[in-house]
Amino acid sequence: FFLSEKSTSKNMSEGASGLVKMIKTSPSDKRFPSQNQANHCWNRYNEWVMCLKGTAGDADACKGVRQMALSICPEDWSNKWDEEREEGSFAGVEFTDPE
């Protein structure tokens, strides 16, 4: 899930600072209509990598895309893919951090 600055009475959570923020998840995607969201997860993660690639590794510019991926993907998967990207063995979109 990721936090939005806007808040309503629906789906709200109080943060550590006492501010109320709305909790969101990745929006539905008509390309992935089934209950199994593995393909949706894989696609969101690769969209984040493509965002990094398109912004020369600017993580701040891609923060929203990363949050969508993390909200739909199991933590183990995203951690595994992060490690694979570092090792150069990731099967998805190729991008190496310019730093």
Q: What is the domain-level CATH number for residue 79? A: 1.10.10.140
55 located within any domain: yes
Q: Find the mean pLDDT for residues 31-47.
A: 88
69 located within any domain: yes
d(CA 47, CA 70): 12
**1-10, 31-40, 41-50, 78-87: which range is least confident on average?**
1-10
CA angle at residue 82 from 69 to 84, to 5 degrees? 130
Reply yes or no on whether the pLDDT at 42 is more than 80: yes
> Chain-wide mean pLDDT for the chain?
81
7 located within any domain: no
Domain that holds residue 42: 29-87
Sheet strand arrangement including 20-24: 2-4, 20-24, 12-14
The residue whose two tokens read 């099967």 is: 91
Query: Of 8, 97, 92, 3, whose CA–CA distance to 56 is shortest?
Result: 97
45 located within any domain: yes
35 located within any domain: yes
Reply yes or no on whether the pLDDT at 21 is more than 90: no
Domain count across the chain: 1
3 located within any domain: no
Give residue 94's pLDDT.
Answer: 84
Output the pTM of the full model: 0.67
Q: Per-residue confidence at 99, pLDDT binned at 50, 70, 90?
A: low
98 located within any domain: no
